[in-house]
């Protein structure tokens, strides 16, 4: 049992909490996720089951797309609704115009400081531990790429945005920084991830309904890479860490190596266009199961 699960994460649970529940539901310990969502956030969480955890880094997971509800006029210490309100300021009468005037400066390559209440580690400790103790710590700004930042609707002091960005972007910081530019403060009220690269929220399963039947085979999630089907002898070479030759040149630095029945056994480095050197390989003991009926 291995492949990818697309989960629609509910509000009020951590990404690790999702994994804990799935381990019980699927009766396996080997589960991991790509792209943490805060407890406040909902939406798409990409989860790998079994040996597919080894291939998470090769999935097409960018850019990310989010829909956020932002409340203006209040700043919080966490940049979202779960935090403490630390400042209240009047909202300009022309809020919609000021939002539209301000959004262009958040497009493209921007410099962003992560929230102090985040899991980024400084000297081995996550930032939120420093925040909870009231300790000062230097937070290094990061460069992020924002593909689009669109105002969808506005009602009173709340507005809904759709944001497409590279991984690692803090949507909470985008809301906070927008509020500071306008001068009234702002924080995230609701946040939903609707897309991650090739995956979309409409493909996701509610957490409490997820079963092994919903697992997507790994080869279907790695179609952006060349896929090479190996014979039994070649599979044995890969099993022992040896390279195999492909008769057709491959114009890509990576390739997916599969059994004839489409089970992924390795991500290979492509050397000189025809030599496939196994780089990321499923556990040795699983080979017998996969080639039993070949």
Task: Please identify every residue annotated as catalytic.
Answer: 38
3-state secondary structure 5-60: EEEEECCCCCHHHHHHHHHHHHCCCCEEEECCCCCCCEEEEEEEEHHHHHHHHHCC
Residue 285: φ, ψ to 5°: -70, -15
* Spatial distance between the Cα atoms of 259 and 230, rounded to a whole number of angstroms: 6
Cα dihedral 179/180/183/185 (nearest 10): 50
Helix (H, G, I), strand (E, B) or coil at 186: strand
For 63, residues 6+ apart whose C-beta sits below 8 A from its C-beta are 145, 147, 164, 165, 166, 167, 195, 197
d(CA 176, CA 77): 10
Q: How many helices (H) and strands (E) does the chain have?
A: 7, 19
The answer to whether 179 and 185 are in contact (CB under 8 A) is yes
- E runs forming strands in 139-201: 142-155, 158-165, 186-196, 199-200
Measured distance CA(284)–CA(291) in Å, rounded: 12
Angstrom distance (rounded) from CA 178 to CA 104: 11
CB within 8 A of 261, min separation 6: which ones?
A: 293, 294
């Amino acid at each position: 049992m291995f492949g990818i699960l697309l989960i629609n994460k509910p509000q009020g649970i951590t990404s690790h909490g999702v994994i804990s529940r799935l381990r019980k539901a699927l009766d396996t310990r080997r589960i991991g996720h790509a792209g943490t969502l805060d407890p406040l956030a909902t939406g798409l969480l990409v989860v790998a089951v079994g040996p597919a955890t080894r291939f998470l880094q090769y999935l097409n997971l960018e850019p990310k797309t989010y829909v956020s509800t932002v409340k203006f006029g209040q700043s919080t210490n966490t940049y979202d609704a779960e935090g403490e309100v630390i400042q209240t300021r009047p909202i300009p009468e022309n809020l919609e115009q000021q939002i539209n005037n301000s959004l262009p400066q958040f497009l493209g390559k921007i410099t962003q400081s992560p929230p102090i209440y985040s899991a980024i580690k400084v000297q081995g400790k996550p930032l939120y531990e420093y925040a909870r103790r009231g300790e000062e710590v230097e937070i290094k700004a990061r460069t992020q790429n924002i593909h689009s930042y669109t105002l969808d609707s506005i009602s009173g002091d709340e507005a809904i945005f759709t944001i497409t960005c590279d991984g690692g972007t803090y949507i909470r910081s985008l809301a906070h920084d927008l509020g500071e530019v306008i001068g009234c403060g702002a924080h995230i009220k609701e946040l939903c991830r609707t897309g991650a690269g090739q995956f979309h929220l409409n493909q996701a399963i509610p957490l409490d309904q997820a079963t092994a039947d919903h697992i997507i085979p790994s080869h279907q999630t790695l179609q952006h890479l060349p896929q090479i089907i190996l014979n039994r002898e070649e599979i044995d070479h890969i099993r022992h860490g040896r390279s195999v030759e492909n008769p057709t040149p491959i114009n890509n630095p990576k390739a997916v190596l599969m059994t004839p029945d489409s089970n992924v056994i390795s991500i290979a480095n492509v050397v000189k266009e025809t030599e496939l050197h196994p780089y990321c390989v499923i556990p040795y003991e699983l080979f017998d199961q996969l080639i039993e009926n070949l």
